[in-house]
Amino acid sequence: MKKIIPLIFLFTLILTVSANAQIDRSRPPEPGPPPVIHIGEYETFTTDNGIRVIVVENRTVPVVSFQITLDIDRILEKDAKGYVSMAGELMRTGTSNRTKQQIDEETDFLGATINTHSRGMFGSSLTRHAESLLDLMSDILLNPTFPQQELERSLRQSKSALSTVRTDASSMVNNVSSVLVYGSDHPYGEITTEETLENITIEKCREYYETYFKPNVAYMVVVGDMDVETAEELIDRFFSGWEPGEVPSHKYETPQPPDGRRVAFANRSGAVQSVISVTYPIQLTPGHPDAISTSVMNSILGGGVFSGRLMQNLREDKGYTYGARSSISTDPLAARFNARTEVRNSVTDSAVTEILYEMERLRNEPVDDETMDLIKNFMTGSFARSLESPQTVANFALNIERYDLPDDYYTTYLERLNNVSVSDVQKMARRYLLPDNAYIVVGGNRNEVAETLEKFSISGDVEFFDPFGNRLVDTGQAVPEGLEATDVIDKYIDAVGGRRNLEKIEDITIEMEASMQGMSIQTVTHQKAPNKYYSSMSMSGNILQEQIFDGEKGVIKMPQGEMNLDDEMIKQMKLQFTMNIELYYEEMGFELELDGIEAINGVSAYKINITGPGNIKRTDHFDVETGFRVQTTVTEQSPMGEITQITTYSDYRTVNGLKFPFRMMQQAGPQSIDMEVTNIKINQGLSDELFSPE
């Protein structure tokens, strides 16, 4: 052995030197052949009532899942937008044999998962519970009752979720983009609003279910620890009673890109950042011959990899954003291109310029080989990793069946990916990147940003939209000549009851119910002239926070402790809690600026910028017609940075001869609170002890 070791070392050294002498390291190695992909097998059969079943057997773990998908056309929901998804959600909330509670309890007992949606359902459990799972699933599918109380609960939750849209620039951009790209007469262009939710009824939900939930348009995908014979027996046993029927089909005009570049803007008052989307419709169906080449092209532009050009340009080079990405979706009805980012106000127009530049660069300049290899290697790895999941095989099988793809579409995917050339990428860029025929949709601060975007529009104009995609028509309404900010405040005072009645208020109590992230919160506020204040926030009888101020000192109490107010906070509260402070703006040293007329929640409103002692700054909007306050915007510094709080007011009602808003929605950062006044009491003789911080 002692003699063999040096010989092995010498032989290795000779091989290494010889290899180094033959390799030209100035040239990258030639790529090898694409790996051979072996995608798991699946079996299919069709039941007597028309269900097309796909079985992907996988015995690695004792789990099985059943996925039902309806192969149906999208429908127009019109003035009841939202009822289709609501119908799918409500299916799981009760059957003629089980209540929602019983369904939940049985599902939990099995350790199973059951979800329903407007185009099918999904269930999963351990294999030994498969029969019990299918018994539950078939009952939900065949015997839903659509309980009225569950609809009302879901509608309340949906309305609460919608309350954030008016103050969330990202949601605004989503809505405006959908309307522009697809059109309001296309299923993808319909927007859910509080008004459309009001039109949703049990009858509409049931009608949708009875019309479209038919076995002859259904696929069932079985994945996991079950063979095809067992699957066939169980599906026949539990779903043979599902009656087939005729299902209507629907056709829509194919959306087209705009003739020239258009700029759309949704105003988010007080926003310090802009959400940008460059988007337009394309025609790219699943399995389209261009799909793989286009995916490579989009990955180079910004399709999810950090090396994407949008990310490198806008984040790494310019420092405009934390992220910038693009996507090209395939869709059997209407596909879409979208490039998206979020940047600070001052660089919004610059960011748009760079997005358009990168789109043009891909159209006009060939991609280098190194970039091509990087992207294709990334996509190869992603595809290979996806094959580790049996569900991927099931989805592939479902796509082949639904979209009539070649049987070898996925087994030859890597070969076709490897064959994508530089010229293919440029050809796809010229075909699908349309920087001159795009919608540039921005959500943000109109006053700071909108004018800088006019140069991108073929018409030179920026089109303005409300948060739900309704175009705001500029009526040319201007502030009447001679009107001043104090006149607007005086009109507000008159609208809510008049100066004399407001001066008579010595104390006031307001009780409210608030909804935040699905939780119900009770709040009570007491005020006593001139500036005493008490508020409490509680949940299920447990006080979460109290804020107490006697006009000179104050405290904030929480379960984890108390916080006394410092001198600066006390100065702020003396002003903030002054009873009907609008009556005293002038004598207290406030400065008011009338800054035009803006559309707020569908009404024309005077914009008043208010600056007061102690660096108080806020913006109020007052309805031009009624005089009521409709919105207040306050931007403050916090440990997390600058936070803008927006409160909207509506549903004014009369109490003791005075008008009060009974509905308020407050947005602060990502948090939204929907508040509804339940009771108002005036001049109850509140004791000073109530406002004592001690």
Structure tokens that stand for 86 in this block: 């609501």
Reply yes or no on whether the pLDDT at 22 is more than 50.
Answer: no
Reply yes or no on whether the pLDDT at 10 is more than 60.
Answer: no
pLDDT at position 279 = 98
Reply yes or no on whether the pLDDT at 191 is more than 60.
Answer: yes
How many Å is the maximal CA-CA distance in the chain? 112
- Residue 117 contacts by C-beta under 8 Å, 6 or more apart in sequence? 85, 88, 89
Asked which of 264-273, 384-393, 639-648, 677-686 is least confident by mean pLDDT, the reply is 639-648
- Label residue 633 by pLDDT band (50, 70, 90): confident
Find, among 620, 552, 630, the residue nearest to 592 by Cα: 620
The structure tokens 């705001």 sit at: 472
d(CA 54, CA 70): 14
Find, among 252, 250, 294, 257, the residue nearest to 278 by Cα: 257
Task: List the beta bridge partners of residue 547.
Answer: 535, 556
- In the three-class reduction of DSSP (H, G, I as helix; E, B as strand; rest coil), residue 439 is classed as strand
Reply yes or no on whether the pLDDT at 113 is more than 90.
Answer: yes
- In the three-class reduction of DSSP (H, G, I as helix; E, B as strand; rest coil), residue 193 is classed as coil
- In the three-class reduction of DSSP (H, G, I as helix; E, B as strand; rest coil), residue 678 is classed as strand
pLDDT at position 516 = 67
Second CATH level (architecture) for the domain 262-389+401-465: 2-Layer Sandwich (3.30)
d(CA 689, CA 686): 8
- In the three-class reduction of DSSP (H, G, I as helix; E, B as strand; rest coil), residue 675 is classed as strand
d(CA 650, CA 198): 17
Structure tokens that stand for 455 in this block: 């140069």
Structure tokens that stand for 242 in this block: 């599902």
The structure tokens 């990793």 sit at: 385
pLDDT at position 18 = 37
- Whether 676 and 662 have beta carbons less than 8 Å apart is answered as yes
pLDDT at position 30 = 54
The secondary structure of 293-354, three-state, reads: HHHHHHHHHCCCCCCCHHHHHHHHHCCCCCCEEEEEECCCCCEEEEEEEEEEHHHHHHHHHH
Structure tokens that stand for 208 in this block: 């949708």
Query: Span 483-491, mean pLDDT?
Result: 96
Structure tokens that stand for 329 in this block: 């979706």
- In the three-class reduction of DSSP (H, G, I as helix; E, B as strand; rest coil), residue 615 is classed as helix
Mean pLDDT of the chain: 89
Q: Where are the alpha helices (DSSP H) in 509-657?
A: 567-576
Structure tokens that stand for 181 in this block: 């790209």
- In degrees rounded to 5, what are phi and psi of residue 129? -105, 15
Structure tokens that stand for 196 in this block: 């459309």
- Whether 58 and 228 have beta carbons less than 8 Å apart is answered as no
Structure tokens that stand for 78 in this block: 């019109």
Reply yes or no on whether the pLDDT at 225 is more than 80.
Answer: yes
Among 137-146, 328-337, 578-587, name the most confident range: 137-146
Asked which of 374-383, 526-535, 558-567, 616-625 is least confident by mean pLDDT, the reply is 558-567
d(CA 392, CA 406): 17
pLDDT at position 222 = 95
**CB burial readout 250-263, b (16+ within 10 A) else e:** eebeebebbeebbb
Query: Span 491-500, mean pLDDT?
Result: 96
- In degrees rounded to 5, what are phi and psi of residue 410? -90, -30
Tens digits of residue pLDDT in 289-321: 999 999 999 999 998 777 899 999 999 999 999
DSSP string, 215-241: GGGEEEEEEES--HHHHHHHHHHHHTT
The structure tokens 């087209």 sit at: 256
pLDDT at position 679 = 96
Please state whether the peptide bond connecting residue 258 to the residue before it is cis, i.e. omega within 30 degrees of 0.
no
- In degrees rounded to 5, what are phi and psi of residue 567? -60, -40
Q: How far is CA 605 from CA 650, 652, 674, in A?
A: 13, 16, 22
Tens digits of residue pLDDT in 193-223: 999 999 999 999 999 999 999 999 999 999 9
Query: Span 540-549, mean pLDDT?
Result: 89
Asked which of 137-141, 258-262, 447-451 is least confident by mean pLDDT, the reply is 447-451
Reply yes or no on whether the pLDDT at 563 is more than 90.
Answer: no
- Label residue 2 by pLDDT band (50, 70, 90): very low
pLDDT at position 167 = 79
pLDDT at position 415 = 92
> 151 or 604, which is more confident?
151
pLDDT at position 152 = 94
- Label residue 686 by pLDDT band (50, 70, 90): very high
Structure tokens that stand for 548 in this block: 């107490």
Reply yes or no on whether the pLDDT at 5 is more than 50.
Answer: no
Alpha carbons within 13 A on the beta-carbon side of 448: 15
Structure tokens that stand for 638 in this block: 């916090």
Burial (Cβ within 10 Å: 0-12, 13-18, ≥19) of residue 500: exposed
pLDDT at position 644 = 75
DSSP string, 62-104: SEEEEEEEE-------GGGTTHHHHHHHHGGGBBSS-BHHHHH
Tens digits of residue pLDDT in 369-423: 999 999 999 899 888 888 878 888 888 989 999 999 998 899 899 999 999 999 9
d(CA 138, CA 143): 8
Asked which of 136-140, 607-611, 644-648 is least confident by mean pLDDT, the reply is 644-648
Tens digits of residue pLDDT in 32-69: 555 555 566 889 999 999 999 999 998 889 999 999 99
Find, among 616, 621, 571, the residue nearest to 590 by Cα: 616
Which regions of the chain carry the CATH code 2.50.20.10? 485-691
- Label residue 571 by pLDDT band (50, 70, 90): confident
Which regions of the chain carry the CATH code 3.30.830.10? 43-239, 262-389+401-465
> 362 or 38, which is more confident?
362
CATH number of 485-691: 2.50.20.10
Find, among 286, 291, 318, the residue nearest to 303 by Cα: 291
CATH match for 43-239 among 3.40.640.10, 3.30.830.10, 1.10.3720.10, 3.30.1600.10? 3.30.830.10
Query: Span 670-692, mean pLDDT?
Result: 89
The structure tokens 């696929």 sit at: 219
- Residue 359 contacts by C-beta under 8 Å, 6 or more apart in sequence? 278, 301, 339, 429, 433, 434, 435
Reply yes or no on whether the pLDDT at 670 is more than 80.
Answer: no
